[in-house]
Amino acid sequence: MQLIDGKAVSSRVLKECKAQVEELVQQGCRPGLAVVLVGDDAASRAYVRSKERTCKDLGIYSVKLELPSETSQEELQEVIVGLNENPDVDGILVQSPPPSHIDEGAVVMTIDPDKDVDGFHPVNVAKLVLEDVGGFIPCTPLGCQRLLGDYGIKTQGAHVVIVGRSMIVGKPMAMLLMSKGLLGDATVTIAHSRTVDLPEVCRSADILIAAVGRPEFIGGDHIKEGAVVIDVGINRVEDPRAKRGYRLVGDVNFDEASQRCSAITPVPGGVGPMTIAMLMSNTVKACLQRRGLELNG
Amino acid sequence: MQLIDGKAVSSRVLKECKAQVEELVQQGCRPGLAVVLVGDDAASRAYVRSKERTCKDLGIYSVKLELPSETSQEELQEVIVGLNENPDVDGILVQSPPPSHIDEGAVVMTIDPDKDVDGFHPVNVAKLVLEDVGGFIPCTPLGCQRLLGDYGIKTQGAHVVIVGRSMIVGKPMAMLLMSKGLLGDATVTIAHSRTVDLPEVCRSADILIAAVGRPEFIGGDHIKEGAVVIDVGINRVEDPRAKRGYRLVGDVNFDEASQRCSAITPVPGGVGPMTIAMLMSNTVKACLQRRGLELNG
């Protein structure tokens, strides 16, 4: 049984990005990422800080905009329009979730699709479906695909079962893995809360991708002997023995799964670190495409 | 074994549309559909004629624009811009396939998404993925869904296997049937030319949808006892005994399939007639949405 080391792969992605940023800086251009945070949710703050720090490590120009939680829809959208017009900003990300009075869909629509490094703008959603490689693909599915690729796990002709039909993971993951090409060409099944006999459906998977957001929901009985398991979930469960009073678990029961599968991503240290790495990769891509530059490396 | 009668269901859809058009005309507004044909392909001409005739039957204002095959990309797009601006036109359709010098993707991008009754514009592609009911869904998948609904075939929790991953049928069909709701909520598998052991994958289907464009490609060994079979294919095969020298067959071997399935669409007379009916339905929807009208009926 092989552990799929997301930390190692994400380090490799970040190293690649750093080299690309250096080359771009030599060409006289520094990629820039703007992160907008509305309100003072502690977890969101931590995510934003981590993105800022990673930008700094890579030499990416980073803009952090912290807006009070009472910011109106109009004010937020004006901020985004300003970032759209800012030539030094290649990527724009609005940290999710915003306060409840904000219409997140309308906010995403305001972002210039060419700067939508999260890949949530309808133009980029459509590009993924249409297999247009110029679009931006959401970071988490893109990270899962990269993990599979780096570990030499063949998707072509493989049966991939994705549990969860969200816009952020399940659906883009399905589109990505059924697309034509070396890292796609999979037979893809999307299962969800309405699926009848989920364990049986999951047992038909060569590659099982869990993205349901329910702690340890996928047990050993969901896994075919020798399958590859990608666990997208990151759930907090109470644990009085843990320092902070909780521990992080995935959507998969790791102990049960690891006795049946051939490879698995741990939580933490699996898919998690990939998301931010692919965000950086998308930011470099945005810079290249927007400014019409090419890399020699 | 039940025959799913596409002619009967399409007649019902057209009758509904006709009543809606009558009500709209009483409100002082007539829905309009513009069909653009470039070149002189005989089959395309026949399709366009049939759309024109159906519009006439329903009381829909119909505009037919026949452009010579040497029409340039720019000329075609200018025509579409004119139709976008024409207030009497609610729906715009460019008959496919255009001559080879025309970039079909760029043409679709020119159509006002609010008039894109074919549902191929990226804005509508994204709306389908995002489950935004205000978008337009491609007519053939929409017709298949309607057939299932009218025959009381439950999609919720059912395992649907779609063979074919095209932008016109396979992918929108998958999105539609995995969406939340009474006519969705299916567990969906998309299989294609790269799928390993296609017969086995197909045999796991409660509802099998064939959209591969290969005559009688799906045989009895692809079908689980009691499954429902929706055959999207319309293929010409040579037949010296037939009047015209050919006959139409689907992607499914009907004789083999009908011995195993519980219900099946014939070819012709199954999915075929639904496509034009859903086009009319989309045109009425476009009229209602664009003009901010409502039906009482």
Q: What is the pTM of this model?
A: 0.96
Q: Phi and psi (nearest 5°) for B244?
A: -90, 5
Give the whole-angstrom CA distance, residue B192 versus residue B170. Answer: 9
Average pLDDT, chain B: 97
Class of the CATH-defined domain B30-116: alpha beta
The yes-or-no answer on residue B88 being catalytic is no
Distance, CA of A222 to chain centre: 24
Rounded to the nearest angstrom, the minimum Cα separation between A269 and chain B is 30
B63-104 residue pLDDT tens:
999 999 999 999 999 999 999 999 999 999 999 999 999 999
- Spans of chain A below 50 pLDDT: none
- From the list A105, A122, A195, the residue facing B122 with the nearest CB is A122
Confidence label for B296 from pLDDT (cuts 50, 70 and 90): confident
Answer whether A28-113 and A139-273 agree in fold.
Answer: yes
The yes-or-no answer on residue A145 being catalytic is no
Test B156 with A187 for CB contact under 8 angstroms. no
Quick one: fold of A139-273?
Rossmann fold (3.40.50)
Q: What is the ipTM of this complex?
A: 0.94
**CA A116 → CA A48, A59, A290, B110, distances in Å?**
16, 20, 11, 22
Options A20, A90, A95, A224, the catalytic residue: A95
pLDDT at res. A157:
96
Q: Phi and psi (nearest 5°) for B155?
A: -95, -25
A217-248 residue pLDDT tens:
999 999 999 999 999 999 999 999 999 999 99
pLDDT at res. A94:
98
Enumerate the domain spans of chain B. 30-116, 139-272
Test B123 with A122 for CB contact under 8 angstroms. yes
- From the list B129, B194, B195, the residue facing A129 with the nearest CB is B129
pLDDT at res. B20:
98
Quick one: fold of B139-272?
Rossmann fold (3.40.50)
3-state secondary structure of A170: helix
Alpha helix stretches (DSSP H) within chain A: 6-26, 42-58, 73-85, 104-110, 122-129, 139-150, 170-178, 198-203, 254-258, 272-291
CB B247 within 8 A of CB B237: yes
Q: Taking residues B97-114, what's their average pLDDT?
A: 96
pLDDT at res. A296:
83
Confidence label for B197 from pLDDT (cuts 50, 70 and 90): very high
Q: Phi and psi (nearest 5°) for B44?
A: -60, -45
Residue in B111, B137, B159 to test binding to A, most A beta-carbons within 10 Å: B159
B41-58 residue pLDDT tens:
999 999 999 999 999 999
A163-212 residue pLDDT tens:
999 999 999 999 999 999 999 999 999 999 999 999 999 999 999 999 99
Give the whole-angstrom CA distance, residue B114 versus residue A102. Answer: 25
Provide the 8-state DSSP code for A230: E
pLDDT at res. A105:
93
Sheet holding B207-210, edge to edge: A2-3, A263-264, A228-231, A207-210, A159-163, A187-191, B187-191, B159-163, B207-210, B228-231, B263-264, B2-3
Give A262-287 as a 3 state SS string: CEECCCCCCCHHHHHHHHHHHHHHHH
Q: Taking residues B95-120, what's their average pLDDT?
A: 97
Q: Which long-range contacts (CB under 8 A, 24 or more apart) does A11-18 make?
A: A12/A150, A13/A146, A13/A274, A13/A277, A13/A278, A13/A280, A13/A281, A14/A54, A14/A57, A14/A58, A14/A277, A14/A280, A16/A281, A17/A58, A17/A60, A17/A277, A17/A280, A17/A281, A17/A284, A18/A57, A18/A58, A18/A59
The answer, yes or no, to whether residue B241 has pLDDT greater than 80, is yes
Test B125 with A129 for CB contact under 8 angstroms. yes
The yes-or-no answer on residue A41 being catalytic is no
Class of the CATH-defined domain A28-113: alpha beta
